[in-house]
Amino acid sequence: MTDRLPHEKGFLVSWDQLHRDARALAWRLQGEAPEDGWHAVVAITRGGMAPAMIIARELDIRTVDTISVKSYDHQTQSEPVVIKSPDMEIVGEGEGVLIIDDLVDTGRTLEVVRKLMPKAHVATVYAKPKGRAQVDSYITEVSQDTWIFFPWDTALQYVKPYRAMD
Ligand SMILES: O=P(O)(O)OC[C@H]1O[C@H](OP(=O)(O)OP(=O)(O)O)[C@H](O)[C@@H]1O
Ligand SMILES: O=c1[nH]c(=O)c2nc[nH]c2[nH]1
Ligand SMILES: [Mg+2]
């Protein structure tokens, strides 16, 4: 995908919106919990860390680990590489484990993560159609040609009035 400015085909997410959407995801995940509850959260760094924290807080999960997968350099995708794995003694094959990311786009990151923890429940806040099959739960779907701008990548700034842009 080529570079886009936020006012082109971009979906801008504020901290407040992210908090609401992550909470909505937590609510949904509570309804999908196994009988003995979720026992751990694994956040896919870095984007999954903010929603994972909110979800762990809502579901009162204290065991939180991370997996680091690097697949994008700015908006250019390359082969996903696992840079850091979670503690496999804790997560095992993923039974009762929630894997959390901010979004799924092509699904390539989750493909790699699922191979490591095949029994885990995978949840993202946002999902694009290509990667949807890789997630068990998500909150909002956005079209494939939309770039999602997260609050940690953006800042409040002055914008020109519409009339001044003619
Ligand atoms: O479904 P895919 O096409 O694989 O893309 C989705 C992944 O890409 C982004 O992470 P990125 O690799 O940019 O790292 P970051 O979370 O550290 O920003 C995003 O946070 C997802 O993890
Ligand atoms: O900030 C981001 N927004 C996106 O839409 C996206 N897709 C893959 N990786 C992404 N990162
Ligand atoms: Mg990521």
* 82 has a pLDDT exceeding 60: yes
pTM: 0.92
**E strand spans, 1-156:** 10-12, 40-45, 64-73, 76-84, 97-104, 121-127, 137-141, 147-149
Residue 1: inside a domain: no
Residue 57: inside a domain: yes
**What is the rounded distance in angstroms from the CA atom of residue 85 to the CA atom of residue 82?**
7
Task: Tell me if residue 136 is catalytic.
Answer: no
**Residue in 105, 136, 145, 153 annotated catalytic:** 105
- Amino acid found at 55: I
Task: Tell me if residue 3 is catalytic.
Answer: no
Residue 164: inside a domain: no
Domain containing residue 82: CATH number: 3.40.50.2020
Residue 117: inside a domain: yes
Residue 162: inside a domain: no
- Which tokens is 149 given? 């701008």
Per-residue pLDDT, averaged over 18-28, amounts to 98
Residue 30: inside a domain: yes
Pocket test for ligand 2, best of 148, 150, 154 (most atoms within 8 A of CB): 148
Closest Cα to atom 3 of ligand 2: 148
User: Which residues have CB less than 5 Å away from ligand 3 (the ion)?
Assistant: 47
Q: Which residue ranges have their beta carbon within 6 Å of ligand 1?
A: 44-47, 70-72, 101-109, 131
Residue 163: inside a domain: no
The chain-wide mean pLDDT, for the chain, equals: 93
Residue 64: inside a domain: yes
Q: What is the total residue count of the chain?
A: 166
| Peptide bond preceding 62 in cis form (omega within 30 of 0) | no
Q: 70-77 long-range CB contacts below 8 Å, 24 or more apart?
A: 71/108, 71/109, 74/3, 75/1, 75/2, 75/3, 75/4, 75/147, 77/106, 77/108
Task: Tell me if residue 145 is catalytic.
Answer: no
Domain of 104, in residue numbers: 10-154
- Percent above pLDDT 90 for the chain: 81
pLDDT-derived band at 166, boundaries 50, 70, 90: low
User: How many domains is the chain partitioned into structurally?
Assistant: 1
Backbone phi, then psi, for 137, in 5-degree steps? -145, 145
* 54 has a pLDDT exceeding 60: yes
